[in-house]
Amino acid sequence: MIQGVHLLLYSRDAEADRAFLRDVLGWTAVEDSGSGEGWLIFETPPSELGVHPTDGPPSVELHLMCDDIEATADELAAKGVRTTPVADAGYGLTTTLTLPSGAELGLYEPRHDSPLSRFRKT
């Protein structure tokens, strides 16, 4: 029935954000030949989805996951990527990184059980 998840990132500087995903994060992509504009569609790492209750309006957030947040933040900083200070959120260690467009993505080192454990290095 469902064979994948397609995420959309709406950007005020799509070219710069595409370059970031390709060159900084090292994600591979295919060109969307149907767009006529050379849009790239990136292969993302495996994902998981958590559904949390809220008293506010419904929303969706995107958080990248890593095994060692300090090492990942250092690696990103060496590539010129700004991140916020690492914080302990209980469920994991978190930071936020800023894309060239100014959009922000969460980054965290999870402490919770994950259906992705079969993909992670041991």
Q: Which residues, 6 or more positions from 57, have their beta carbon under 8 angstroms from its beta carbon?
A: none
Name residue, tokens 């996951």: 65
Q: 71 by DSSP, 3-state: which?
A: helix
Rounded to two decimals, the pTM is 0.83
Angle in degrees, CA 103, 113, 76, rounded to 5: 35
List per-residue pLDDT tens for the chain, 122 residues long: 888 888 999 999 999 999 999 999 999 999 887 777 778 999 999 888 899 999 999 999 999 999 999 999 999 999 999 999 999 999 899 999 999 999 999 999 998 888 877 666 55
Tell me, rounded to whole angstroms, the distance of Cα 75 from its chain centroid.
15
For residue 120, the model assigns a pLDDT of: 60
Q: What is the DSSP letter of 40?
A: E
